[in-house]
Structures are given as C-alpha cells and as structure tokens.
Structure 1
Amino acid sequence: MTSAMPSSRTIRLGTRTSALATAQSGTIARALERAAAAAGERVRVELVPVRTQGDVDPSSLASLGGTGAFAAALRMAVLDGRCDLAVHSFKDLPTAPVDGLRIWAVPQRDDPFDALCARNGWDLDDLPRGARVGTGSPRRAAQLLLRRPDLRIVDIRGNVPTRLSRVLGAGVWPDGPLGVRRPDLDGVVLAMAGLIRLGLTAHVTEAFDEDVMLPAAAQGALAVEARIDADPLLTSLLATLDHAVTRAEVVAERAVMEGLEAGCAAPVGVLAQVDERGLLLDAAVISVKGTEAVRSRLRITDLDGAEALGHRIASDLLGYGAGDVADLRATKPHRPEAGQ
C-alpha cells in the first residue's frame, strides 16, 4: 500500500512590481520550493504584487522620506494577512524593527558595491569635465564629488532599466518602452547587485571598490520577513535560506547607521566583509558637496560582536566630527521646482 502524498500548501510572497523586485522575489520563491521538496513537503509559492509609495510617486527618494517608502506597504500586507512573507532589498528597510514582524532569513548577498554605467565605455576618471552623472543617492553623489568635484550630479528616479536608458537609450530593456525620450546623461551609478539580477552587467564601465565608493548599509542583501507567529513550516523553510556570514555583515553595517542616527539622506557609506581573520568594518561620512570626509575601519575576530562593532565605528565617526561634516539626520532635503 503506497503512502499518501502530503497535501499541497500555497505560500503567498508579497513583492513589489518592478522587474528587479520580481526577479529577487522569484529567486526566493524557487529556493523555498526546493527546500520544501527536500523536506518532503509539497509547497507552491505564489507571488502577490503589492504597489508601494516608492513605486507610484515620482518624487525623489529622499523627499518621500527615504527607503521606507518601498517597505511600508509590503509590511502591512504581511501584517494584515494578505501575504505570508515579503522580500525586501535589505538596504530599503529602516533600522527600527516593526512590531509583529521578524526577518527570518538573510540569504547570501550578491556583490555589495556600486557600478558606473557610462557612454563610450568611460570609467570615472575618463568622464569629461562637467559630465552629467545621474543618481538619486546623496551617498553616491557625495562620493562622486569627493573624487570628481567637477561632475554635474543629476537627481534621478525610476527602475534600473529606466535609469540606464537615460545614458544608453530605450533599447536597454527588451520589455517595452521606458518613458525616456532620448539619452540625457553621460553616466549613472547603480548597485551592482541589481544589474546582476537583471542580467545587465554588460553595461558596466567601471565596477567600484571600497577605495572609490563605499556602498549603502546592507546593499546587495535581501531580507525575508514574516510575522513573528508565522507558520512553523514556513519558518523552518526560511531557516534553510539564512546565511550566517551575510547576516553578521548586515548587522554590523546597520548598527553603524543606528549608532549615527543616520537619516535616509545622510551621505554615509559602510561595508562589512568577513574573511578568515574575522569581520572588517569600514565606514565613512562624506559632506554632500564632496569637500571632506571622515572614515573609520576596525576588525574583530568574533562574528557575535558584529552589532557592537557597528556601534563602536559610529562612535568613532562622531568623535572625528561626522556631525560637522554632514547632516546625519537629513531625511527630506529641499527639492527645487522645475526650472530652478
């Protein structure tokens, strides 16, 4: 007599609707289904599209109140039961936790760095004097100006293909028009992880390292969030996705931001890297005009001290005058009206 097959379960995964968010969520969905099959469970993961404020409001990211504009709607969908879990770009999550929710898994992250995508194959040093470079990030803008004060920084929004099309034209993305009339920028700076996930790395003309541009806290990492009282089957599957090294790196990086009480528009770069000698944490605060910066680097051997290390780095930066270099609590800088 054959044993009965286990009944099939559907897990509802909330995702933003952009190509990048859908790609990221699809990766997690497939990983959960594989983990379930390995455990002898029949699970189907259904992607549930959720529109967020950051997706529908064309204002600058900083003027929306920061990266939390992308996370709030997803979190509400999990809390009210429309979804069982949500996948976030970890750098989009405010450092303050949300009652009733828990980050159950931090998968191994992709490349944490930024990249330049420019016309004519230019790298940062090759860009002509006064070149127009697009970014919506005060952190990226400050570090660009620190190295190239002659550049003209253009505040941009939109998904990855749309930003690329402002440099390379509408043929960047095969899935239809992007709303860009014709290229108007010499280059854009984007997260390498997003380019990797969308298969667009062929357009990278310079991959930055920490000597050129420190990334945002948790850049390249995903956070998989569900309710604290989530179903035990779901939490057991999520546990198989958690990557201890990435979690330690992200904890350290976010602790720097927490210790600085940094707002979404604060020009702060931070990078934690684990190797055979432990965890190295590197962080900097840069003036918005790129005229000065303070930086601190420390190493520990025990990953359990990641959060404490982040707070120590923050304390060091404050002691070096970070609060005088930049407005650390900046969240909504003035956005000039058209024509100004």
Structure 2
Amino acid sequence: MKLRLGTRGSVLARTQSGMVADAIVEAAAARGIELDVELVFIRTEGDVSQTPLVGISQTGVFVNALRDALMAGVCDIIVHSLKDIPTASHPDLDLAAIPVREDVRDALCTRGESLSELAPGARVGTGSPRRAAQILAQRPDVTVEGLRGNVDTRLGKLHDGLDAVVLAAAGLSRMGRLEDATQLLDPSVMLPAPGQGALAVEIMPDADPAWAVAVRDLDHAPTRQAVTAERALLGVLDAGCAAPVGAHATVKDGVLTLKARVINADGSLALNETTSGPATEASSLGRRTGFTLLGRGAARLMGGS
C-alpha cells in the first residue's frame, strides 16, 4: 500500500517528515502491514513570502497549505512542527499522532562564546519575540535583530554581521547538526515556545483504518499531555506562537508540571507561574495557568490593553 505524506520543501521539514514516514512504515510492519510512504512537497505562504513572520501572523503560515492539500486529496498524511499550528483543533482533520518529543531547548549559536560571554553590544539574530525578550532579560546590553530563513541561512549570518543566532535545538538535532550549537539554553533561562520540539501528524477522520492504525501507533501519551497543557495556556492568553510566551510541561509518574512565562518586549518585566496536577487534566491545568497569568496582568506585557 502506498501513502503520500505532504511536507514543506525545506531541509528541516523534509528531514522531519522523512523520520515520520520511516516510523509509520516501521509501525505498520510491526502489525504485519506493508506500507510505502512517499513525500509530496507542498509550497506554503511561509516559504514564499519574504515578509517578517511576525508581520504575517506566524501561526498557521506554514500550516494552511498543507491542510488544504490533505483535504483536497493531494496527500494522505501531513506533518507539522507542532508549535506552528493554531491552538484550536481543526474541525475537519484528525491530529492522529504527536510522536515523542525532541529536545525542547533553544540553542545559542556563536563563534564560541556563551550567552554570558558575548561582548556588550553584540548583535543577536532571532525572528522570535519570545527569544528576543528572554535574551534581553539576561543580557540587556546586547542588540537583538530580526532574522528569518532556513537553518543554513540563519547560521550563515554568523559570518555576515551577526555575533549570535538563536535556533531550536530540536531542528538542529534532527538534521544532525547539534554541534553547531554553542550553548543549549536551560528552560530556567529561556522557556521554550509551547509545543517546541514536538511534531504533529494529521490525517483525515475517515482515513482507511488499515493504515491509520500505524499512524496512531506513533502517538506518545506523555508528550501529548505536556503539549496539550502548554497549548491550552497559549489559547487562553489568545497569543500566537510569535508572542513573548514561554511554556514547558513535564510529566512524571502521572503528574504534570507546567512552567509558564510571559515577558515584555525588552525583557525588563516577566510573569512566571508553575502549576502541577494530574496529567489526565492537562488541558484544564493549562487553562487555569493562563487565566492566572491574565489576572496578574499578562495582557499588558504582551502588548494588549
């Protein structure tokens, strides 16, 4: 049986999708099902536009074309970086699997200096307000500059004017390029984006059970619980993945612990919350944390009224 997996054409997207395709084939084989999964490349607005992602609403910019292709029958399966998809469930699609999560941390890439060793006035590139604000909270004496493009483009800026760039460790790891990271920033210093390091695999609700079961086998319950809490928090704050909101949930022995941070643009003010409870109540824990932050003035820090 041949399946078509829709993916963006970037090296990272192809790598991630290829990993998922291999995992689906392996899961099917374990059930005695023979599958062949081929990649179908789909161009998205985020790949075409040169507009800064924050300016074109990053949430969904890499997602909608893939979803349209799935619903049009161009492909059978699509794979996203989970942090790119809107927090609300798509009414016509099935989020069939959230595989085990990669490293959630952000990676500082420099010519050898750690964050504390960067010279005053050093130029740090990132397209993420969350990363920018948390960098400035630690080092208010550096200059943060906007940055977008694929991994090679961003890393190339280290030899074209920038002293540091910040990327997701998960992407570097999946591409076999974690050695390009000078320092992996602990979540106590820089909380990741909600859902960072996780992938989302979507199919149609009426997909053939003969192969859909192999896709569902990829789902990792603790990862799904953790990112459910993080994204429920984000939904309450009514903030997209470009907002200065960090969240990281962990699950141990059935207990979920969620750490959240809302920070203003220059990093001078931050609100932090930690909530724990049953992992089976992940969504309500995330929502509760979001409402607590709103009650403490999170909207003002995010630029709201």
Please indicate, yes or no, whether the TM-score normalized by the shorter chain is above 0.5. Answer: yes
1:111 pairs with 2:103:
yes
What CA deviation, in whole Å up to 9, does each residue of 1:68-87 have, x standing for no partner? 11000000000010010100
Q: Which amino acid aligns with 2:290?
A: A
1:137 pairs with 2:128:
yes
List runs of 5+ in structure 1 lacking aligned partners.
Answer: 1-8, 170-182, 330-340
Residue 113 of structure 2: aligned partner? 122
Residue 306 of structure 1: aligned partner? 282
1:320 pairs with 2:278:
no
How far did residue 46 of structure 1 move? 0.7
**Correspondence for 1:51 among 12, 23, 43:** 43
Q: Which piece of structure 1 moves more, 258-267 or 17-26?
A: 258-267
1:215 pairs with 2:192:
yes
SS in 2 for 1:45: strand
Higher Cα radius of gyration: 1
**Structure 1 vs Structure 2: percent identity of aligned residues?**
50
Q: Equivalent residues in 2 for 1:171-320 (5 A)? A: 183-276=160-253, 278-300=255-277, 302-320=278-296
SS in 2 for 1:70: coil
TM-score, normalising length: structure 2: 0.97
Q: Which piece of structure 1 moves more, 132-141 or 200-209?
A: 200-209
- Asked if 2 retains the 8 angstrom alpha-carbon contact of 1:108 and 1:221, the reply is yes
2:187 and 2:20 map into 1 onto residues whose CA distance is: 28
Root mean square deviation of aligned Cα: 1.2
How far did residue 265 of structure 1 move? 3.3
How far did residue 223 of structure 1 move? 0.3
- Taking a change above 3 Å as real, the CA distance of residues 25 and 187 of structure 1, as seen in their structure-2 partners, is same
How far did residue 188 of structure 1 move? 0.4
How far did residue 257 of structure 1 move? 0.3
1:41 and 1:275 map into 2 onto residues whose CA distance is: 33
1:264 and 1:238 map into 2 onto residues whose CA distance is: 26
1:142 and 1:260 map into 2 onto residues whose CA distance is: 17
SS in 2 for 1:73: helix
2:59 and 2:162 map into 1 onto residues whose CA distance is: 24
- Asked if 2 retains the 8 angstrom alpha-carbon contact of 1:135 and 1:154, the reply is yes
How far did residue 234 of structure 1 move? 2.6
How far did residue 277 of structure 1 move? 6.4
TM-score, normalising length: structure 1: 0.88
1:36 pairs with 2:28:
yes
How many residues in Structure 1 have an aligned counterpart in Structure 2? 305
What CA deviation, in whole Å up to 9, does each residue of 1:88-145 have, x standing for no partner? 00000011222210100000010011010012x1011000001000000010001111
**Correspondence for 1:64 among 53, 56, 61:** 56
Q: Which amino acid aligns with 2:124?
A: V
1:101 pairs with 2:93:
yes
- Asked if 2 retains the 8 angstrom alpha-carbon contact of 1:260 and 1:328, the reply is no
SS in 2 for 1:28: helix
Q: Which amino acid aligns with 1:271?
A: H
- Asked if 2 retains the 8 angstrom alpha-carbon contact of 1:133 and 1:187, the reply is yes
Residue 334 of structure 1: aligned partner? none
- Asked if 1 retains the 8 angstrom alpha-carbon contact of 2:99 and 2:199, the reply is yes
- Asked if 1 retains the 8 angstrom alpha-carbon contact of 2:44 and 2:63, the reply is yes
1:323 and 1:113 map into 2 onto residues whose CA distance is: 25
Residue 148 of structure 1: aligned partner? 139
Q: Which amino acid aligns with 2:113?
A: W
